[in-house]
Amino acid sequence: MAFDLVIRGGRVVDGSGTGAYRADIGIEGDRITAIGRLGARGRQEIDADGLVVTPGFIDGHTHFDAQVFWDPSGANSCWQGVTSVVMGNCGFTIAPVHDDARALVLRNLERAEDIDATALAEGIDWTWQTFPEYLEALDRIPKSIHYAANIGHSALRTWAMGERAFEKEADEDELRRMRDQLRSALLAGAIGFTTSRSEHHETSDDRPVASRIASWEELHALVDVMSELGIGMLEGGTEGFLSPDPDEQQTVFEHVRRIAVEQGVPITAGLIATQEGGRAMLDRIDRIASEGGRMIGQSHCRGISVLLGFRTRLPFDVLPEWIPFRAQPIEDQKRALSEPETRTRLAKAAMEGDYDRWRGIGAMPRKPDWDGIRVFDRGLPPWPSLREVATARGISPAEAMIDLALESDFERLFIQPSLYPQNEEVLLDVLRHPRTVMTFSDSGAHLSQIADASIQTHLLGHWVRNTGAFTLEEGIRMLTLEPAQAWGFADRGLLREGLLADLNVFDPETVAPGVPQIVNDLPGGGMRLSQRAEGFAATVVAGEIAFRDGESTQRHAGRLIRNRRATTHG
């Protein structure tokens, strides 16, 4: 008997959380067909001696909805061992859409998701209007990894209401159109419905995104469609839990409880592990479970952070002294900062300036926290703070930031905690909670500010290897079986005979995120943050070696994942 592919002699960490063991894995077509000591050869073989073999990782919170049309590889997730992603989160999708109203859909996500407008205009070949047609388009295009798609509330509203979606509540006819399109999307294979009520989600023309205008009753009416069909999970809508107003928190909880318990639709949402908010969210999740509902918290393992740099964005960009300087070409900025008088003047302004105009995604109006902003000089912590660097050099933190930028030809990046910095003790409680899943990368969005596609390798390098907070078996389960169960992917997340052959082969002693780099490879030449990873020998997708030693093989075996109850296509 010959196999198409044999992964030979690796330490198998199968996703279940049980102990690792040494075995070969035989693959025929897109399925695992044998696990054990295999005498038969494979047409291709991967030598996994000294390496671990795991299921492919699953990311439940991404925004690849547009990127998938110009990037078959799935960067940056693909470099981190991710083989299946869920996109269309936070209410942001590019379908449904009318041919003459595409700008309305793009308005929802251009600023809120920080996706380059030129890339959106030039990188998408619009061949759909309805959501089922969008799924068919996804099915046809080459893909190196697998994609599951939610339908987004903001797109659904703009499709049904036009400009009114950004100003008014839906009338009876508009709500009927939304319900009908949602039903069609779910029957065609959408795995859920997503929304957002976050004050940070604004349009490119300074208005709330469309889903924020919707009433709670509109949301319940749409969720009723999911309840009637028995299909899908609602993502989002819990942003009010972060409100300082306890009455608003209670109102949001009552609506979330109604969705999960009375309407019987599972709900999932991001969980920020702050000192107070993280534990309060866990308590709410447990209360819903105690009443028979299901809620899943999406956790992060590093803490959502914004990346700063002279080639991207700086807190100083809003200061009057810096605005004309930053408008110059990069080479002119370098030359100017090499002049002591200019450097001193701008550093002084950075230390003393008024930052009230700062409106960056994930940030807030504030003077830079020189203890919190760290030098992103390696893939894993510890990272030195700017104040530490400044003290060692005998200069101000702003001068240190300028000098580090000049010394690296403006390539150096700095990592700044977000609006809601996470507490490490609470974060570990969140990661260990039985009703949370470690996901929430936002990969495919925030292209110039955030590089969180690497949370999987951060978990393995930092929390498993460097701190020992989790065993390797526990860490792999968190990245594979747990998200597979949360999103109902029954054919992946474990290494078992008969399951889909999505696998990773990597060195547990070296696996880690790389340092992000700035590249200009978006359609139209736009800029994005690119983050590779270290330690991967191979990633297999549906039986094909998709990535080898961190490079794409140009094998596109990825597929669209439709919900298991889908009954119609197209």
pLDDT by residue for the chain (570 residues), tens only, comes to 689 999 999 999 999 999 999 999 999 999 999 999 999 999 999 999 999 999 999 999 999 999 999 999 999 999 999 999 999 999 999 999 999 999 888 888 777 677 888 888 899 999 999 999 999 999 999 999 999 999 999 999 999 999 999 999 999 999 999 999 999 999 999 999 999 998 888 887 889 999 999 999 999 999 999 999 999 999 999 988 878 899 999 999 999 999 999 999 999 999 988 878 899 999 999 999 999 999 999 999 998 888 999 999 998 988 999 999 999 999 999 999 999 999 999 999 999 988 876 554 444 445 789 999 999 999 999 999 999 999 999 999 999 999 999 999 999 999 998 767 788 999 999 999 999 999 999 999 888 888 999 999 999 999 999 999 999 999 999 999 999 999 999 999 999 999 999 999 999 999 999 999 999 999 999 999 999 999 999 999 999 999 999 999 999 999 999 999 998 775
Distances (CA, A) of 485 to 64, 295, 495, 518, 553: 21, 13, 14, 35, 29
CB contact at 8 A, 148 and 191: yes
Give the Å distances, CA to CA, from 151 to 88, 97, 183, 209: 6, 12, 10, 15
Please state, in angstroms and rounded to a whole number, the distance separating the CA atoms of residues 122 and 120.
Answer: 6
Model pLDDT, residue 418? 75
Measured CA to CA, the distance from residue 347 to residue 495 in angstroms comes to 55
Q: Distances from the Cα of 275 to the Cαs of 272, 372, 427, 469, in angstroms?
A: 9, 17, 9, 19
The Cα–Cα gap between 245 and 82 comes to 38
C-alpha pair distances (Å), 7 with each of 58, 112, 130, 212, 493: 20, 42, 42, 49, 17
Which residue in this structure is represented by tokens 């810096």?
A: 322
Q: In angstroms, rounded to a whole number, what is the distance separating the alpha carbons of residues 566 and 185?
A: 9
Spatial CA neighbour of 158 closest among 84, 214, 216: 214
HSE value, Cβ hemisphere, 13 Å, CA-based, for 23: 17
Question: Using the 8-state DSSP alphabet, how is residue 269 labeled?
Answer: E
Determine the pLDDT at residue 348.
97
In angstroms, the Cα distances linking 526 to 119, 445, 452, 453, 520 are 7, 13, 19, 19, 5
Can you list the domains of the chain with their CATH numbers? 57-304+420-468 (3.20.20.140), 306-417 (no CATH)
Query: What does the pLDDT read at residue 115?
Result: 83
- What is the per-residue pLDDT for 306? 87
**Cα 36 from Cα 321, distance rounded (Å):** 66
Question: Cβ contacts of residue 566 below 8 Å, gap of 6+?
Answer: 186, 187, 188, 189
The predicted pLDDT at position 203 comes to: 84
Structure tokens at 30: 């897109």
- The answer to whether 500 touches 94, Cβ cutoff 8 Å, is no
> How far apart, in Å, do the first and last CA atoms of the chain sit?
40
State the pLDDT at residue 361.
40
CA gap 242, 276 in Å, rounded? 10
| Three-class DSSP category at 413 | coil
**Which residues, 6 or more positions from 422, have their beta carbon under 8 angstroms from its beta carbon?**
272, 273, 274, 278, 300, 303, 304
Strands 57-59 and 82-87: parallel
Residues with Cβ within 8 Å of 392's Cβ and at least 6 positions away in sequence, in order, are none
DSSP, collapsed to helix, strand or coil, labels residue 212 as helix
Distance CA 566, CA 132 (A): 11
- Give strand pairing partners of 551: 548
Q: What is the pLDDT of residue 121?
A: 86
Give the pTM.
0.96
Among 177, 201, 230, residue whose Cα is nearest residue 90: 201
User: Is the preceding peptide bond at 96 cis, omega within 30 degrees of 0?
Assistant: yes
Hey, how many other C-beta atoms are within 10 angstroms of the C-beta on 206? Answer: 8
Question: Which 3 state secondary structure label does DSSP give 44?
Answer: strand
* Tokens 């889909």, located at residue: 500
In terms of Cβ atoms closer than 10 Å to its own Cβ (0-12, 13-18, 19+), residue 369 is middle
- Tokens (6 digits) for 408: 């690296």
Q: Tokens standing for 204?
A: 């490119």
Token duo for residue 111: 């600023």
Q: How many CA atoms lie within 13 A of 163 on its CB side?
A: 1
What the block records as the tokens of 318 is 């809003």
Residue ranges of E strands in 168-211: 192-194
**Which pLDDT value is given to residue 570?**
57
Helices (H), 260-396: 277-290, 323-326, 330-337, 340-352, 386-393
Tell me the one-letter amino acid at 390: A
CA 97 to the chain's CA centroid? 23
CA distances 207 to 166, 203, 215, 296, Å, are 7, 5, 16, 30
Strand locations in 402-524, DSSP E? 414-417, 436-438, 503-506, 512-513, 517-519
| Contact call for residues 344 and 385 (beta carbons, < 8 A) | no
Decide: 55 and 500 in contact? Cβ < 8 Å.
no
